[in-house]
Structure 1
Amino acid sequence: MTMLPTASDLPKLLVEYDQWVCWREQTRGDNPTKVPVNPHTGRFASATDDETWGSFETAREYAVDGSAEGLGFVFCDDDPFVGVDLDDARDPETGTPTDWAKSIIDELNSYTEISPSGTGYHVLVDGELPPGRNRRGDVELYETARFFTVTANHVETTPTGIIERTTALAGVYADHVADEDEHEKTDGEPNTESSGGDNELTGAETSSAEASASPNEALSDEELLARARAASNSAKFEQLWRGDTHGYDSQSEADMALACLLAFWTGGDTHRMDRLFRRSGLMREKWDAVHYADGSTYGEKTIERANNVTTEYYSPNDEHDQQTQTDPDDGADDLSVNSATASASVRNVQPSKDEGTIYEREQARIETITRLEQRLRELEEENERLREERDAERAKRKALEDDNLQESSPTGIIYRLKQILSG
């Protein structure tokens, strides 16, 4: 178990907030995952339900009993904190940070600690997170609805308190997280979001050839993203676009979920799907790594699979290509948005009356996935409860076996007492 911090080990301001949980490590898929635990009940905690959080003292007391492996702090809208998560940023043997991590830590100059794995850092600042994505590569920024594991393994060269760093945070965001400027991507410097792949697919810019290949060629990437953010499942899209994998068993599962959404919105345009995915917070080096015997990269195969399972596509209401995805008599199946209205206010776009069938099918599919995810969480909680009952029953059985051994063994106290009394 991770060494548990005391209140005196941590910034006083952090301890004062009743936003603490515990955590246990579980294996989901092939990867170990730190699962938040409600310190009141021992069941799963939620980063969006304050009823499942507690005070620092409550969380620590629960963990001290051996019921959890460590402590965590939940970020929400009621606190001033932003968490900066730096992964694969430290050599655990030498304790040396990578150059890029050191530059971020130095620039933020606020309370910093080493992560439980020893390979990363957590920086806590008082500030506001700039709008937009919250992750790129090994840098992720948290402001709300997420939890940080807390170790109190303080980096001695940093302050012991949480400092107001809004300006510095904006600089870190611009340098390490925000989308790169289109001109910067063509100045000969490598793209930090990709370690390989063809240059024409790594930038956010759209060539005329690529645009003409898309079924939704009338819309730019920005217009298409705006419509995705205005759709009924915009919360799910925005979560994945920002790189938030909360609720998914692995990042690969989150990658697939975003790829399916991109397939829907791009009409299955593989080039455009790849280009947009590279702009998302889920982008990582693995995307361009060859993972298959046929030479396909992980990203290529993810896009291929997403297109294989996507059967319905978004189609803007364009006079030149209207109804290309459906039978002429199936007007209700055309998921369209009035283009004139969208041009005036693309972010406030609402489903038209003609969206009927496909919109309802998509909504039903989303609701089904949501129900299944909820049921999975319930089953995990039930499994945890049964595991605890099993462990308690085993402990009782062990105690009874020990008592029986004491009664039957010539060296046992109870056996010897019986012999004395019977003599």
Structure 2
Amino acid sequence: MSEREHIDRGVLPTALVERDQWVCWNEQTRDGKPTKIPITPRTGGFASSTDRDTWTDFETAVEYAQNDEADGLGFVFTDNDPFVGVDLDDCRDPETGHVDDDARDIVNRLDSYTEVSPSGTGFHVLVEGELPEGRNRTGSVEMYDSARFFTMTGDRVDVTPQTVEARQEALAEVHREYVRKPSMASGEPKQATGTTKSPTGDVDLTDEELIEKAQTAANGEKFDRLWGGDIHGYESQSEADMALCCLLAFWTGGDPTRVDRLFRESGLIRPKWDEQHFADGATYGERTIERAIGSTTDFFEPTEEESDHSDTRGQPKQPPTTEVNESIGTPQTGADEQLDSRERVYLKEQNQILSAKLEQQAETIEQQQEQIESLEAEIAELRASSASTVQEQTARDQEVADEPGSAGESIWEKAKRLVGGGRS
């Protein structure tokens, strides 16, 4: 056990130390990757995160690890405890201590016991709460509450509490924004007449025209409710704030200044918007807008007609012109053009609906893959445990075979020796 893992009862939360849910672990290379294998402190055999008989109390685990029998300690999550672990990987530079913005945001919002991982490249956050339904991992952020174990170092992040805090609302918000698919969580619009993949910040429409366009879009009813301050259907106002900001991010072309200006005109504005909630001085509103723009994958791009109309507002309308379609010799009026435009919009919407369904199917497949990986990990644990049992049985058989007079004797010879010994 390295110097870093020499921890004692005083540096870890009492709520964890008092539970007999401790294991040790050793690092092994499997499939070319370093893997932390749980082991039982009392016996040194393989431990299982689903077998309570392979866990022990904290003191026994520490003593075993400090005798250099293991690389570190681990705490097992179960259905019978109130804890949820949030695992943040590849978010910290072990040399400089620099932390990614997303990881810093998550740690600040959860505001509970947090420690640096054994590799120094990530964090482990522990909170009290219930893990939200749905997927539990996206990218480098993973959450779990049972059948897994956390490696524990005692290297607490100084700005975090020394205790495991109840953080249900914050946990739910972090799960929605970082673990669930951004497109599924934010409800960003997919039905505009023109879109672009990158923020442009150059939507040449007045605020009034932009709001009217958002209200008359296919998801205009949802926009109208949020714009009016109705948060029905959302688990918290913070979630509703994010949903409206994602919609505004789309319609403004990803212009953060305009998103802020428009949000302040909505029914959702509240004093919290300008409160500083983060260590870098960022306000709640600034960070919400930043995340909304970052999670929006398409941005509105007005057509030339819409831009021209915006530039010429106040001028008298010209009557629709009639042009001759030379290929068929029939006139085509502005009404026909509008019909073609509506058809294009309809086809685009249908295409986007199909894309959303494909995305949902892809998410389902990914969740199933995660379940397969979890089952494969359990199978590997069972195989390792079985191999350990076979080795122990083989060792016991060898001890019996090595007993004096046992080698090469037949049953008859053993009987005669025992009878002869009894007569003497």
What TM-score results when the alignment is normalised by the length of structure 2?
0.50
TM-score, scaled to structure 1: 0.50
* Structure with the greater alpha carbon radius of gyration: 2
